Amino acid sequence: MNIKQTLRRHLQQLFFASLMYFAVLFASVSLLRNFDVPKFWQAVISIVPAVPVVFIILILMSMLKDSDELQQRVNLLAITFSAALTGLLTFSYGFLENIGLPKLPTIAILPMLFVLWGIGFGYFTARHE
């Protein structure tokens, strides 16, 4: 299988896993809002949307493993940028919470990592062309 076919396969898997995430998230929120369920099941239903995210992460790791050396380097730089900036932003915001700013929801951290990874990927891809 060539690189374009591999990329297409990974993107299809990523698209499907993303659809599953949104479907499971919608179902989870709907169940919790519309039904009175015991605390144990509330916890289980609340956690279930994380399952498709595990698959998204595994697909992304597989994409990285199957990419060429330049793409791996670009992604390493993008991931490093994302992790460092997410750490700096959340760390700094923690100090601002001491002066009354609202708490940062922890659920925002993984999407922040992904968004900053995308920004870093675009930036470092452009620099390496």
Cα-atom radius of gyration of the chain, to the nearest Å? 18
In this structure, the chain runs to a length of 129
Mean pLDDT of the 82-88 span = 97
Report yes or no: 63 and 10 within 8 Å, Cβ to Cβ.
yes
Closest CA to 62 of 71, 123, 86, 47: 71
Instruction: Determine the average pLDDT of the residues in 43-53.
Output: 96
b/e map 46-71, b = 16+ CB within 10 Å = eeebeebbebbeebbeebeeebeeeb
- Could you tell me the pLDDT band of residue 87, with boundaries at 50, 70 and 90? very high
The pTM of the whole model exceeds 0.75: yes
Domain ranges within the chain, ordered by starting residue: 1-55, 68-129
